Amino acid sequence: MIGVIARPDQVEVVEEFFELFKTAWEYHRPGRVYDVVVATADEIPQVRARLVVAYGPRTKNLDAWVGIAGRERHRGAWLSEGETGLPIYGELSTFAAGANRSCCVTRNREIAGVVAGSPDSIVIRLGYDLFDEVRFLLSSGQPVEHAHLPTLDIHIRMLRDWILNAGMPLLEIPAIPAGHLFSVCLTHDIDFVGIRNHKFDHSMWGFLYRATFEAVRRTFRGRISTGQLRKSLRAVVSLPFVYLGWAKDFWEPFAWYLEVEKGLPSTYFLIPFKRRAGEKVAGPHPSRRATAYDVGDLVDSTAALQRAGCELAVHGIDSWHSVEKGCEELGRVADATGQNRPGIRMHWLLRDERTPLVLEAAGYAYDSTVGYNETIGYRAGTGQVFRPLGTRRLLELPLHIQDGALFYPQRLDLSEPEAEKRSRVLIDHACDSGGALTILWHDRSHGPERFWGDFYVRLVHALKSEGAWFGTAGEVVSWFRKRRQVAFTTAEGVGGTAPRLQYPGEEIFPALTVRIYPPTTSALGAGRKATSEFVDIPWNGKSVEEMEQKIASHFSHRPPQVVINSVS
């Protein structure tokens, strides 16, 4: 059990952090024995624990016991922990070197984290505030230059490693569906349903330019083949016949995606009202945000998508800033699709600090807007579904990889091998840490003049080969919601304490993974890492007593009786 001593203003952040690091914890109770105490408060009372991890840039009364003194204060920094790099967005203190202490985190050559004590009573002192960092990541989000870093997941991994390296057992429910390594959401923002709707407007003229002059340039750059160039030119020639209904509309998206994703569920975000650009739209050409279709034009297509097991959600226009318009947009798509509480992703990914509260008030089940237009990666620093701060029931499914960010000339402008390499980094992290990898491929990306379809086919194949669980956005969010319903308590037994699980909900599918790290010999005092072996047990939320017996067999150990007196 972890005991937490945090500042009063960090309560909401603490609770969300331990929904992501799903393990047994509670707020510290005086006199109670804990395996670990995690503290960010400046005044830390006397604690009974084997390991204390104290975060924060300001001086703490614990510092005198550890024997450290602050050296310099920084605003924002780049830290190193072993081979791992970690950005710090808030305040950071570094420490003076001293005897009987080892360094665990550095800033350049300065010490930003120290380990003190003995193998039986360990204190780790960090110069930054964990929960302030988590607050920043879940609210402001990471700048583009750090998008590739799963920073919040790194914070979780570091704390987990420190616990295990101190020789403690650990019970965790990682964000990993049983039998799989991670989850995948295939999603499509539907901005166009055919070029037939666009006659002599900026979309048509833009297509003609990109399918001719730009296609020739891309051919010389090696970004498309001569065969694809010929397809672009043929599409240009066929355009009058498309308008007359004599030729196939090469921008029609649904048949192609249903064929490529056969057997895999996906989510389509649909525009609720045509010819609405929306209000408060910053940036150039805001009128171009208006579309030539809406969900009411797609009766046959939506029926076909639902028969194939796909989810239909809202591609919001003004929901990001207006509860009234959010209700209107939700109702429009709900009426057309028969889905009572759909999810949403905002058109152009528009949002501000109030958007989660507005979307929750409008009645959306989830949002999937937190991501980047300019790049791929982790705006919130995590691959997990999370609850935006300030909300009560809305969950956020972060967006990680989108086609336009990879290939648009004004964005990353990558070749396909480069895009594969960048995407592989995110897939590898998902394989290691679980979570949900959310992919966005737009409606006309498979056709001329973009030709991003072949890459998408290979990406889907790569995800399937990694043993991922594919679910619609709603299904994946629902799985995370059930995981969040699991609560931990402790039971006293012969020889010590054992964590217990409580779950009041319906059966979970795919099952959760209950991960048990048995105790190991402490390695922190020796300056090396203990081997982190673990046992995974699938659990569908039922048969609680049987699961608790399995857990107890790994946790029958005497509780620590070390007293760390932090009073100076």
pLDDT digits (tens, 9 = 90+) for 373-398: 999 999 999 999 999 999 999 999 99
Average pLDDT, the chain: 90
CA gyration radius, the chain = 26
| CA 151 – CA 247 distance, rounded (Å) | 49
CA 12 to mean position of chain CA atoms: 18
Q: What is the CATH number that goes with domain 1-173+488-568? A: 3.40.50
In angstroms, the first-to-last Cα distance of the chain is: 26
Query: Domain map of the chain by residue range?
Result: 1-173+488-568, 183-194+251-479, 198-244
The average pLDDT across 516-534 equals 65
For residue 39 the two structure tokens come to 């503290």
For 445-476, the pLDDT digits (tens) are 999 989 999 999 999 999 999 999 999 999 99
Looking at residue 248, its pLDDT comes to 94
Helix axes 130-139, 11-20, angle to 10 degrees: 80
Strand order in the sheet with 170-172: 170-172, 512-517, 535-539
Q: Are 203 and 192 in contact, with CB atoms under 8 Å apart? A: yes
Contact 431, 181 (CB under 8 A): yes
The single residue listed with the structure tokens 């990109």 is 210
CA 437 to chain CA centroid, nearest Å: 7
Q: Which CATH number fits domain 183-194+251-479: 3.40.50.12500, 3.50.50.60, 3.20.20.370, 3.40.50.10860?
A: 3.20.20.370
Beta carbons of 535 and 516 less than 8 angstroms apart: yes
The residue length of the chain stands at: 568
Distance CA 21, CA 384 (A): 10
Nearest to 155 by CA among 173, 136, 140, 171: 136
Q: What is the C-alpha to C-alpha distance for residues 498 and 19, in angstroms, rounded to an integer?
A: 20
- The predicted structure's pLDDT at residue 556: 58
Among residues 351, 388, 395, the alpha carbon closest in space to that of 373 is found at 351
CA 109 to chain centre: 31
Question: If DSSP codes are grouped into helix, strand and coil, which group holds residue 318?
Answer: coil
- Asked whether the domain spanning 183-194+251-479 has the same topology as the one spanning 1-173+488-568, the reply is no
The residues facing 70 across adjacent strands are 95
Please, is 432 exposed, middle or buried when counting C-beta atoms within 10 Å of its C-beta (0-12, 13-18, 19+)? middle
> Which is more confidently placed, 128 or 100?
128
Q: Would you state the pLDDT for residue 521?
A: 63
Q: What is the pLDDT of residues 47-66, one digit of tens each?
A: 889 899 999 999 888 888 77
Backbone dihedral angles phi then psi of residue 313, each to the nearest 5 degrees: -135, 180
Q: What is the pLDDT of residue 100?
A: 55
Token pair in block for residue 468: 């991922």
Let me know: does 401 contact 423? Beta carbons within 8 Å: yes
Mean pLDDT of 176-182: 97
* Angstrom distance (rounded) from CA 225 to CA 501: 57
How far apart CA 397 and CA 473 sit, in angstroms, is 7
Question: What pLDDT is recorded for position 68?
Answer: 81
Report pLDDT for 529.
54
